[in-house]
Chains A and B, each alone.
Chain A
Amino acid sequence: MRAMIAIAAAGLYRRYGRRWALVDVSFEVPAGALVMVTGRNGSGKTTLLRVLATAIRADRGMVTILGKDPQREPVREKIALLGHRTYLYEPLTALENLAIVARFLGRDSRRKALLERLEEVGLADRADDPVQTFSAGMRQRLALARVLQQEAEVVLLDEPYGHLDPPGFLLVDRVLQRLRRQGATVLIATHLLRRGRALCDRGLVLEAGRLSFAGATSEMPEPPGADGAGFAEGA
């Protein structure tokens, strides 16, 4: 029996001005899979994740999320995106930022519930501090808490290890394992090949906007220039 497909992309094209960021990208991701997306800087990873999250539209091609066309059917509430920008309000506190998301989603926005979420990412002691006083790593942790709060079925993480310290790397690992246990489908764009291979079942490799590999992470080719030296993997 064929596994249910959580994400399907067919012939995706996207360009910025005259430069193509995605060229004929097609793949399928079974529900519950943990998929690593890798490729050099500018290869189209972020664009791909933003298209899948419906933050931007593809110029051509078709995306299906959980069997639905996100441009026509309501599926956004089932997708969570951790992007390069944190989606946080800098003048507001960590708690206030999470409260806004909780209220929009109709979830529990009481202090106790939100503190539990902050505890998960190691920020409970900074709950009442404005985000503008946070370091880049702390912002990344809070952005991760924001994603977790959505309790989405499809989770798209763009460079989740960015700015984090070694304990932060372990935090992301734990989050990924938890998402897997919960049955979420996760796409994670990262340059941390060893870590990605260890955590993910499948891999996608993008080269200049084209998909050059889609398959098991164990069969993934080394990307050009990946001699290990440039891919420090933290903890």
Chain B
Amino acid sequence: MSGLLVALRKDLLLQWRGKAQIVAIFAFGATALLLFSFAIGPDSLALRQHAAGFLWLGLLLASTLSLAESFEREVEEQALEGLLLLPASARALYYGKALANWAQLALLGAALVPVMVVLYDAGTLRLLSLLGVILLGTAGLSAPGTLYAAMTAQARARQTLLPLLLFPLVVPVLLAAVKATSLLILGDPMGQLAPWATLLAAFDVIHWALGGLFFGRVVED
């Protein structure tokens, strides 16, 4: 547990030192939302109907930048290898990094919601439920994303490889998060939110467990 806290503290500190990068990633996500709104046109009903999908697509695209960035600092001077040789537990290092990535993605998601409200006229009063969906959805991006970012960090074509590996895997997250967010924005007369949230939670549990199991194999020679 103490190793996990040390790793988490280290990763949060690294994120704090890279604040400019976080702002740039938010700007990227907001720009993606703006461009998607241009693609729909001025039809306000269509904008509202597609808002949730574009929010999560913007978040997914921005997440690949954020996840890849989280391993840049680990590989440039092989700092991650240095920690493994101390030896720090690979599992603690994984969960520290995944939690820090989760926090960053959840903040990014929360920051993109007002942008969505302004651009798509798509708000909801169920803010706590929306926050819950964002937390569950970003947890589902962070766990496998951290693992795959570690796998691709040393590859030459890492900018292409990470989305290629990650996107097919997180299709269930994207589907469930978009559906759940849509229900919050457009209304949920049939009470369908809970099953989608459960699907997200189940995906999260499986991938957070698998990530911890496989990370050691991914980063060790």
Query: Could you tell me the distance in whole angstroms from the C-beta of A214 to the nearest C-beta in chain B?
Result: 25
Instruction: Enumerate B87-140 residues with CB–CB distance to A below 8 Å.
Output: 87-88
- The CA of A80 and the CA of B206, in the complex, are separated in Å by 36
Classify the interface of chain B: helix, strand, loop or mixed.
Answer: helix
Instruction: Enumerate A103-135 residues with CB–CB distance to B below 8 Å.
Output: 103-106, 130
The 8 A CB mask of B51-92 against A (1 = contact, 0 = none) is: 000000000000000000000010011110111011110000
Q: Which residues of B contact A146 (CB under 8 A)?
A: 82
Given contacts A54-B85, A150-B86, contact A92 B14 (CB under 8 A): yes
**Contact assessment for A105 and B85 in the assembled complex, using a CB-CB cutoff below 8 Å:** no
**Contact assessment for A92 and B221 in the assembled complex, using a CB-CB cutoff below 8 Å:** no
**Contact assessment for B78 and A104 in the assembled complex, using a CB-CB cutoff below 8 Å:** no
**Contact assessment for B6 and A89 in the assembled complex, using a CB-CB cutoff below 8 Å:** no
**Contact assessment for B14 and A89 in the assembled complex, using a CB-CB cutoff below 8 Å:** yes
**Contact assessment for A104 and B3 in the assembled complex, using a CB-CB cutoff below 8 Å:** yes
Count CB-based A-B contacts (< 8 Å): 62
Q: Which of A55, A85, A104, A146 lies at the interface centre, i.e. has the most chain B CB atoms within 10 A of its CB?
A: A104
Q: Does A79 contact B (CB under 8 A)?
A: yes
Q: Does B50 contact A (CB under 8 A)?
A: no
**Contact assessment for B81 and A55 in the assembled complex, using a CB-CB cutoff below 8 Å:** yes
Q: Does B217 contact A (CB under 8 A)?
A: no
**Contact assessment for A85 and B78 in the assembled complex, using a CB-CB cutoff below 8 Å:** yes
Q: Which residues of A contact B18 (CB under 8 A)?
A: 91
Classify the interface of chain A: helix, strand, loop or mixed.
Answer: loop
Q: Does A96 contact B (CB under 8 A)?
A: yes
Q: Which residues of B contact A199 (CB under 8 A)?
A: none
Query: Could you tell me the distance in whole angstroms from the C-beta of B53 to the nearest C-beta in chain A?
Result: 35
Q: Which residues of A contact B81 (CB under 8 A)?
A: 55, 85, 87
Q: Which residues of B contact A103 (CB under 8 A)?
A: 6, 9
- The CA of A87 and the CA of B87, in the complex, are separated in Å by 13
**Contact assessment for A89 and B88 in the assembled complex, using a CB-CB cutoff below 8 Å:** no
**Contact assessment for B85 and A81 in the assembled complex, using a CB-CB cutoff below 8 Å:** yes
Contact of A77 among B3, B6, B10, B86 (CB under 8 A): B86
Q: Does B27 contact A (CB under 8 A)?
A: no
Contact of B85 among A79, A86, A88, A92 (CB under 8 A): A79
**Contact assessment for B83 and A104 in the assembled complex, using a CB-CB cutoff below 8 Å:** yes
Q: Which 6 A-B pairs have the closest CB atoms?
A: A87-B82, A91-B17, A76-B87, A85-B78, A56-B221, A103-B6
24 CB < 8 A contacts A-B: A54-B85, A55-B81, A55-B85, A55-B221, A56-B221, A74-B87, A76-B85, A76-B86, A81-B85, A87-B79, A88-B79, A89-B14, A89-B77, A90-B73, A90-B76, A90-B77, A91-B17, A91-B73, A92-B17, A96-B13, A100-B6, A100-B10, A104-B86, A104-B88
A sample of 9 more A-B contacts (CB under 8 A), given A81-B85, A87-B83, is A83-B78, A87-B82, A89-B79, A96-B13, A100-B83, A103-B9, A105-B86, A106-B2, A150-B86
Give the interface of A toward B (CB within 8 A).
53-57, 74, 76-77, 79, 81, 83, 85-92, 96, 100-101, 103-106, 130, 146, 150
